[in-house]
Amino acid sequence: MSSMKRITTIAQRELVDFARDWRTILTMVLVPLLLFPLLFIGLPLVIGGEAQELAATEVKVLVRGDDVPSDFLGLLENRTVDVIPGPAVSNHTVDDQAVRNGSLHMVVQWNLSGEIHEVHLRHLSTSSLSADARQRVLLSLSEWESIEREHRVTEAGLNASETLDPVRIDPASEDLASEGEVQGWLLSSFIPLILTMWVVTSAIQPSIDMTAGERERGSLEALLCAPARRWELLAGKWAAVSAIVLIGVLLQLGGLMFALTFLAGPSLLSTPDVGVLALVLLTVAVFAFSVMVVASELALAIRSKSVKEAGALLAPASLAVIVPAVLVQVINLDGVEAFWFAVPVVNVLLAMRELLLNQVDPLHTLIWLSTTTTYTALALWYAQRQFNREDLVLSPS
């Protein structure tokens, strides 16, 4: 029997065993598949519903002062504001208390000093209604100020439009990036991060189950008695965990593309403009990143004597991948230094960002491909060392 056949047999058994658990199907298949479609349908619905509800709610605003322009009050009332007029005061204790207990949502103190209108606003930023009342007041103020400005300029004998708006931007100005390139740029700002989170978290459970879990259940000893070399056992497990992770990634990306194509509105994202070579390299990058992370997690899980210990080790260790992934989001791709493409984790994620922008740089590609392969080989070498340890099977008696 060839090594490849043994590895396939082991991987196949691991996958069947893993897929028999309904929780696995739920977390590894349904969640990645439905994540983006649900986000694209559910999130706008929730946000839109909440915004509508807030906009329809009347807020109470106490406007203090003797010189409050009546047209400003009219603008406020147009924004569903219940205006409560009041005299100017110097002590705000009672007003503040009213805002805090919700009987008022905001207080506006208006004072006319010569030609200047001094406006003092008091609101509670931790209250949604109070924050929204402030927003309505600011919009009304801006609108009133604009009218007042035009009125004063005209009174001074000037052309309001030319005086107040001396710079005109040509409405025909164009973004040289195509719509597809813009979509790629937008996707590159969050795809690597989401992918990292998914790969890191989804590999933890199967990595632990197939190593420390097997050890704890006693099935590892039976497996070690079989005529398979240890590296074949490891390769089978590595292939199985990688397959699980990659299936999740593919489902997640499939869900994203479905959501972008069929669910996203015209103002939202659409399909990015990525060439064939970039797409192929992107696939390689996703694959390389996944197998590298899986190899590292397997290596750590094998080291652990129990499922509990493996969990305690892998959860904080995943930060070693997530933190660089966050760093990748802030690296400026214009004129990016080549050394970034050699930094573990950063290299392949940065490559994904570049490729989503349809940029294929031969030097960058060479660096991230060779370094990722090296890091994966190192992780596997370490995992193999751990898997060769005799105390993999404990409890001598």
Partner 1 sequence: MPDELPLVTLDKVSKQFGDVHALDGVTARIDRHTSTALIGGNGAGKTTLLRILAGVYRPSEGSATFADGDLTLHRRRIGVMTESTGLHLRLTAWENIRFHARLFGIDDGLARSRSESLALRLGLGAALDRRTEGFSRGMRQKTALIRSLVHEPELLLLDEPTAGLDITSARAVRALIESLVEEGRGVVWSTHDLTAATVCDRAMVMHNGQLVADGQVGALLVEHDAQDLEALYLRLTKEATREFKAGMEALS
What residues make contact with partner 1 under the rule CB under 8 A? 1, 5-6, 9-10, 13, 16-17, 20-21, 217-228, 390-391, 393, 395-397
**Based on CB atoms, which residue is closest to partner 1, 210 or 256?**
210
- Taking the complex as a whole, how short is the minimal distance between the CB of residue 230 and partner 1, in angstroms? 10
**Based on CB atoms, which residue is closest to partner 1, 52 or 219?**
219
- Taking the complex as a whole, how short is the minimal distance between the CB of residue 27 and partner 1, in angstroms? 16
CB atoms near residue 359 (< 10 Å):
15
CB atoms near residue 141 (< 10 Å):
17
**Based on CB atoms, which residue is closest to partner 1, 11 or 285?**
11
The residue among 382, 225, 224 whose CA lies nearest residue 298 is: 382
CA-CA distance, 133 to 6, in Å (whole number)?
Answer: 68
- Taking the complex as a whole, how short is the minimal distance between the CB of residue 390 and partner 1, in angstroms? 6
| Residues in contact with 383: Cβ distance below 8 Å, sequence separation at least 6, in sequence order | 234, 238, 295, 298, 299, 302
**Based on CB atoms, which residue is closest to partner 1, 5 or 100?**
5
Q: Is residue 377 within 8 Å of 291, Cβ to Cβ? A: no
- Taking the complex as a whole, how short is the minimal distance between the CB of residue 302 and partner 1, in angstroms? 16
Q: Give the three-state DSSP class for 85.
A: strand
**Based on CB atoms, which residue is closest to partner 1, 162 or 390?**
390
CA-CA distance, 114 to 177, in Å (whole number)?
Answer: 51
- Taking the complex as a whole, how short is the minimal distance between the CB of residue 133 and partner 1, in angstroms? 58
- Taking the complex as a whole, how short is the minimal distance between the CB of residue 233 and partner 1, in angstroms? 9
- Taking the complex as a whole, how short is the minimal distance between the CB of residue 242 and partner 1, in angstroms? 20
Q: Is residue 296 within 8 Å of 386, Cβ to Cβ? A: no
**Based on CB atoms, which residue is closest to partner 1, 22 or 262?**
22
59-64 β-sheet, strand order: 81-86, 59-64, 106-113, 116-122
- Taking the complex as a whole, how short is the minimal distance between the CB of residue 35 and partner 1, in angstroms? 26
The residue among 270, 267, 251 whose CA lies nearest residue 259 is: 270
**Based on CB atoms, which residue is closest to partner 1, 226 or 319?**
226
Q: Report the relative pairing of strands 116-122 and 106-113 from DSSP bridges.
A: antiparallel
- Taking the complex as a whole, how short is the minimal distance between the CB of residue 5 and partner 1, in angstroms? 8
Q: Is residue 81 within 8 Å of 134, Cβ to Cβ? A: no
What radius of gyration, in Å, describes the C-alpha atoms of the chain?
31
**Based on CB atoms, which residue is closest to partner 1, 96 or 221?**
221
**Based on CB atoms, which residue is closest to partner 1, 17 or 96?**
17
CA-CA distance, 124 to 133, in Å (whole number)?
Answer: 10
The residue among 310, 312, 375 whose CA lies nearest residue 342 is: 375
**Based on CB atoms, which residue is closest to partner 1, 337 or 391?**
391
- Taking the complex as a whole, how short is the minimal distance between the CB of residue 314 and partner 1, in angstroms? 22
Tell the burial category of 185 from Cβ atoms under 10 Å away from its Cβ (0-12, 13-18, 19+).
middle
- The partner residues of 117 in beta bridges, in order of sequence, read 112
